[in-house]
Amino acid sequence: MRKEVFEVRRMTAADLTPEFMECLESLGPTEDVRSDVGLAAIRETFRRQLRAGWETIVALSPNGKIVGTASYFVKHCYHYHGARVCLVEDVAVHNACQRRGVGACLVKFIEAEARRLTCRSIAGRSRAGAVEFYRKLGFRIGGPGGGFQKEL
């Protein structure tokens, strides 16, 4: 089966839509993020993430619908004597779009950004059900909480 092509780009406040919220729901049970209270909290979280230096990206289907999202942060790491590392969080794909290459597009976008920013590695934690996904993308699996890492 041929994988679909998805556009991946940086998220903007205009992307905080019900489609985005539905992607987040794939991470597991949460409070109702689509309620007015949930949407306000998500908007504030987005603003805080930007101020803290996090980037959030979205994957768009060919018809422009948001089908996935992920966040990443580049920092200097003591362990690598000050070299940059890229931390990945909240890789989420809409439940209806699972296993179509959306997650891989998101992670590959982040990996390309990490390389462009001369990061030494890319790492994060994952739930148990996604460990094989990261292994297939060339990550080493290990550490507490389903950690994954790839040297760049």
Give the CATH number for residue 55: 3.40.630.30
pTM metric for this prediction: 0.90
How many domains are there within the chain? 1
Domain that holds residue 19: 7-151
SS3 content of the chain, % helix, strand, coil (to 5): 40, 30, 35
For 39, other C-beta atoms within 10 Å of its C-beta total: 17
Q: Length of the chain, please?
A: 152
- Report pLDDT digits (tens) over 9-32: 999 999 998 889 889 888 876 656
The answer as to whether 117 is a domain residue is yes
User: Is residue 2 one of the residues assigned to a domain?
Assistant: no
Q: What is the tens place of the pLDDT at every residue in 104-130?
A: 999 999 999 999 999 999 999 888 788
Provide the pLDDT for residue 14: 94
